[in-house]
């Protein structure tokens, strides 16, 4: 089997940890696998390099930043190759350029255009473990580029796709994806498998493990992702196509997002184009609107409620100034939480939503807004009840079992 493994910054944090990674790689190699290993810089290293640059200027030249930041991953790649050789394993490290990772020319936020796999396949055929510096590539202009923060996962997923690897294993200090945040609910359980779409919807929980960008790419390239810890021997969570999951739970997880604020516009002029105008201008200002609820118009007036990231409240206030004459009043509420239940099994089951509503009602928790998709039900409630709501939903769908 050809396996792509990726080790994050904490897993590569110092020489002792790199030795641990080398031993894990050696074990996978001894089992007869071909291995491409993508590495992150040591944890904290990228931030450290950024702070050096910023001691000269707040906005350093992005081409120079790519030269600077790409070095962090080259250090760990070379050290891992050296550690592997010390264990008697034939290993070689490659920079993004060496690995044939070709990107566009957007320095510090480059996108992978394609991967020329010739060299990697040649080295694998010669029996090498190929260690690739993550987070970087070479632009179509021949310059070093980086892929944006957290980008070494993307390197790994893109390589797994291009090499047609059996699996892309992402190792970090988190041992998998849970039914909810284990810090909130002690009974949270690690999932064996979860579909790409559920993982994307649970983003607020999974974000610390995997960027949505990486999950989207894995889905597009049909790459199986395994999220596991490099500090334990536990199995981790497999993120894969829905069709690969035989037993589909109705609800797979409960997510909590406390970073939203609610905006309520009342007595909005009920005319064609008003929503287009308001949300168009918010979009032009890069304000990411999440839930939107509009009530039925009466006497030419309607109410529109929506949520935005808390960090965008003052910008939204500025933008909405321009619409003052189109509505009666406006209210901002920072003290809200969004709880969501996610599961592919919802598509084929009825009563999933009413179970959630009843559970919250029994605890006297008021729901301010509701939105649904095929595999998700989200509710906006008062932030004060967030913890209780998550516990309640987790137990009513028996996720601890
Ligand atoms: N070292 C880079 C960062 O800290 C890339 C990565 O770790 O994935 O953002
Ligand atoms: Mg990282």
Q: For 233-294, what is the HEC assignment?
A: CCCCEEEECHHHCCCCCCCCEEEEECCEEEEEEEEEECCCCHHHHHHHHHHHCCCCCCCEEE
Pick the ligand that lies closest to the CA of residue 136: 1
Give yes or no for residue 382 having a pLDDT over 90. yes
pLDDT band per the 50, 70, 90 thresholds, residue 163: very high
Give yes or no for residue 320 having a pLDDT over 80. yes
- Contacts of 181 by beta carbon, 8 Å cutoff, 6+ apart: 188, 205, 256, 390
pLDDT of residue 43: 97
Pick the ligand that lies closest to the CA of residue 38: 1
pLDDT of residue 211: 83
The mean pLDDT value of the chain amounts to 95
pLDDT band per the 50, 70, 90 thresholds, residue 208: low
Q: What percent of the chain has pLDDT over 70?
A: 99
Mutate to test the pocket of ligand 1, among 8, 152, 156 (most ligand atoms within 8 A of CB): 152
Token couple for 284: 């032009």
Token couple for 184: 């909130």
CA torsion sign, 297 to 300 to 303 to 304? positive
CA torsion sign, 69 to 74 to 80 to 86? negative
pLDDT band per the 50, 70, 90 thresholds, residue 247: confident
201 assigned ligand-binding residue: no
Q: Which residues contact ligand 1 via a Cβ below 6 A?
A: 9, 40-41, 46, 72, 134-135, 149-153
pLDDT band per the 50, 70, 90 thresholds, residue 85: very high
Closest ligand 1 atom to Cα of 8: 7
Mutate to test the pocket of ligand 1, among 73, 101, 146, 156 (most ligand atoms within 8 A of CB): 73
398 assigned ligand-binding residue: no
pLDDT of residue 9: 96
Give yes or no for residue 209 having a pLDDT over 80. no
Burial of 314 (0-12, 13-18, 19+ CB in 10 A): exposed
> Cα–Cα distance between 295 and 250 in angstroms, integer?
30
Closest ligand 1 atom to Cα of 9: 7
* DSSP designation for 377: E
Give yes or no for residue 400 having a pLDDT over 80. yes
**pTM, full prediction:** 0.90
209 assigned ligand-binding residue: yes
**How far apart are the CA of 47 and the centre of ligand 1, in A?**
9
Residue 140 belongs to what H/E stretch? none
pLDDT of residue 248: 77
Q: What percent of the chain has pLDDT over 90?
A: 89
pLDDT of residue 324: 87
**How far apart are the CA of 188 and the centre of ligand 2, in A?**
24
How many C-alpha atoms does 6 have within 13 Å on its Cβ side? 31
**Interval 43-62 mean pLDDT:** 97
Of 64-73, 78-87, 268-277, which gets the smallest average pLDDT?
268-277
Sketch out the chain's domains with CATH numbers: 2-173 (3.40.1160.10)
pLDDT band per the 50, 70, 90 thresholds, residue 243: confident
């Amino acid at each position: 089997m050809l396996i792509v493994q990726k080790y994050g910054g904490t897993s590569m944090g110092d020489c002792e940890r790199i030795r641990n990674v080398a031993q894990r790689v050696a074990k996978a190699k001894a089992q007869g696998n071909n291995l491409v290993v993508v590495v992150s810089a040591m944890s904290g290293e990228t931030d450290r390099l950024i702070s050096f640059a910023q001691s000269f200027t707040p906005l350093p030249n992005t081409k120079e930043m790519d030269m600077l930041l790409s070095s962090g991953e080259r250090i760990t790649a070379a050290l891992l190759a050296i550690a592997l050789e010390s264990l008697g394993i034939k290993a070689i490290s490659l920079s993004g350029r060496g690995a044939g990772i070709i990107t566009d020319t957007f320095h510090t936020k480059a996108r992978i255009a394609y991967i020329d796999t010739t060299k990697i396949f040649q080295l694998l055929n010669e029996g090498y473990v190929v260690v690739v510096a993550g987070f970087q590539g070479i632009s179509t202009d021949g310059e070093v580029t980086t892929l944006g923060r957290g980008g070494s996962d993307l390197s790994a997923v893109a390589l797994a796709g291009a090499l047609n690897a059996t699996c892309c294993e992402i190792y970090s200090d988190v041992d998998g994806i849970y039914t909810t945040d284990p810090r909130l609910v002690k009974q949270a359980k690690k999932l064996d498998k979860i579909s790409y779409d559920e993982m994307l919807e649970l983003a607020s929980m999974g974000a610390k493990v995997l960027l949505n960008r990486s999950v989207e790419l894995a889905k597009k390239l049909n790459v199986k992702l395994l999220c596991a810890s490099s500090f334990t021997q536990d199995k981790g969570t497999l993120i894969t196509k829905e069709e690969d999951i035989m037993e589909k739970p109705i609800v797979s997880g409960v997510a909590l997002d406390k970073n939203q604020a609610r905006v309520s516009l009342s007595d909005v002029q009920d005319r064609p184009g008003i929503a287009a105008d308001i949300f168009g201008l918010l979009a032009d200002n890069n304000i990411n609107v999440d839930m939107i609820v509009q009530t039925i118009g009466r006497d030419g007036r309607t109410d529109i409620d929506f949520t935005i990231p808390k960090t965008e409240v003052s910008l939204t206030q500025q933008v909405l100034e321009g619409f003052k004459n189109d509505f009666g009043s406006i209210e901002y509420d920072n003290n809200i939480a969004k709880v969501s239940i996610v599961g592919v099994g919802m598509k084929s089951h009825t009563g999933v939503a009413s179970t959630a509503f009843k559970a919250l009602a029994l605890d006297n928790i008021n729901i301010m807004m509701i939105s649904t998709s095929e595999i998700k039900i989200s509710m906006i409630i008062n932030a004060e009840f967030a913890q209780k709501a998550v516990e309640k939903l987790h137990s009513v769908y028996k996720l601890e079992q």
